[in-house]
Structure 1
């Protein structure tokens, strides 16, 4: 059984429609795929329809932008009720922060002599709920300023580069609580991929476990073999789920092919058990998985 629990569509910063993402997952030989767009559930309906057509099992989720002790943390929330008022409010604030960031980045790019407008971003990201740096990067590619997203981030959009602009991110602990209220389960995405190894460390992860964290994404392209071994040991010490995934973005991210990392079936079964318990505690009609 091949299970990929972290992918993105055009609802955020991927390049496949939700339907095309699910179809590609099926074609790649996956049995289960999760759609986890940034800060939105807007791709869920289309993905569900495609899953029923293709016969693949679909897990509905999202990757929420949070911050903990001044450090950005991406939180994978699986099977929450997106209609929960507190979750809806939290996501709306994050999306507003994403979208207000874009004009500031464009102004900085124009200050560097690059002729780029909001219409250029909209052209490469039609209908996207979570507009952000990847779409500005795509506009720069479309305008011929850079060759690809990687160059756009390296030259202009990464922290410390001339067009980088910080944005609002929700509190990690508060977001975990909101996801629990909405009947969902929380897993930290690529914990050592964004800020280097050992951050968050085991002590921090232990505190987060006490606060309700269910798992960590161990098998990810941003983690080398040593980091994976260490993270797997930490997960074992703390009783956390171990997940693996591609973090697929279509053409938007290299070397993240569907199924390049997968989650063990027994860990997936634990995730579903925790989700069922979370939904029962919350009293919410959590969405559940879409099964063939």
Structure 2
């Protein structure tokens, strides 16, 4: 039987609902052989995940970088998965710290907008709910759910709430700069869910070709936010550009309905990623 490999999952170090320790245990219980922990703009979950790693599970340490492409107006947000990089690389550390601070400041501004409209949400409670992790809109969504204003995270991200009315722009990393930073830190950059039109605007294939020329290694093809046609498109583009094609759940715990291992990466692509990174895959 081929190994089951899921290369995109989140913990409470960012906006997941399982702690890093709970995440790796859940991965083992789900029958995974390899899991990547890829919290937003942070490596805070790496150490506790490694300490709790169950026997037989391998852990790919990574992060999901918040990026933006400025080739259109307004700029297009996108995400870059970075695997097996040096977590102490000074330039990357500084940029991730800047993005985390900007995300927190944006969150506090959103809460003030909600409060100005008479919506009783508490910034201190939202911070506490994040458990020291990177604060994001999902944490505000949970506050709206606790207040009985919405029933689900999906509803909270709708146009009446955090999707439009109370949405504010945030500072991200220019995408070519992000690719260069990941490579300089010895990591492996993979474009997350590049064709997910249900999330909003997407970038043209020509940009992905330019990113490939700049050192992008792979494209996440199999993802819950890609339709079958979009998955096929991404796989064909990856083959055309000689990029790896990956698959993963983008698991967030109860913030989303998708389960660990819902989509997986083939062993050849995983082995190429594992061989290319400067940080070794951890084994339980």
Tell me, yes or no, whether TM beats 0.5: yes
The residue that corresponds to 2:221 in the other structure is 218
Q: Say whether 1:202 aligns with 2:194.
A: no
Q: Say whether 1:87 aligns with 2:92.
A: yes
Q: Is the 8 A contact 1:35 1:62 kept in 2?
A: yes
Superposed CA offset, 1:215-238 (max 9, x none): 000000000111111111110000
2:162 to 157, 162, 167: 157
TM-align CA RMSD = 1.4
Task: Tell me the TM-score normalized by structure 2.
Answer: 0.94
Q: Is the 8 A contact 1:3 1:262 kept in 2?
A: yes
Q: Is the 8 A contact 2:246 2:264 kept in 1?
A: yes
Q: Is the 8 A contact 1:193 1:222 kept in 2?
A: yes
The residue that corresponds to 1:265 in the other structure is 267
**Separation of aligned partners in 2, 1:197 and 1:18:** 29
Task: Give the number of aligned pairs.
Answer: 277
Consecutive unaligned residues in structure 1, runs of 5 or more: 276-285
**Separation of aligned partners in 2, 1:44 and 1:247:** 17
Q: Is the 8 A contact 1:22 1:47 kept in 2?
A: yes
Question: Counterparts of 1:60-209 in structure 2 under 5 Å?
Answer: 60-69=61-70, 70-128=75-133, 130-154=134-158, 155-158=160-163, 161-193=164-196, 199-209=202-212
Consecutive unaligned residues in structure 2, runs of 5 or more: none
Task: Tell me the TM-score normalized by structure 1.
Answer: 0.92
TM superposition shift of 1:199: 3.1
**Separation of aligned partners in 2, 1:269 and 1:126:** 34
Question: Counterparts of 1:245-260 in structure 2 under 5 Å?
Answer: 245-254=248-257, 256-260=258-262
TM superposition shift of 1:126: 1.8
TM superposition shift of 1:54: 3.2
Superposed CA offset, 1:154-202 (max 9, x none): 13101xx221111100111111111111100100100111576993232
Indicate how the Cα distance of structure 1 residues 25 and 196 shifts in structure 2: closer, same or farther if over 3 A, else same.
closer
Q: Is the 8 A contact 2:35 2:57 kept in 1?
A: yes
The residue that corresponds to 2:281 in the other structure is 289
Give the stretch that moved more between structures: 199-208 or 181-190: 199-208
Q: Say whether 1:34 aligns with 2:36.
A: yes
Partner-residue secondary structure (3-state), 1:23: helix
Q: Say whether 1:55 aligns with 2:47.
A: no
Partner-residue secondary structure (3-state), 2:282: coil
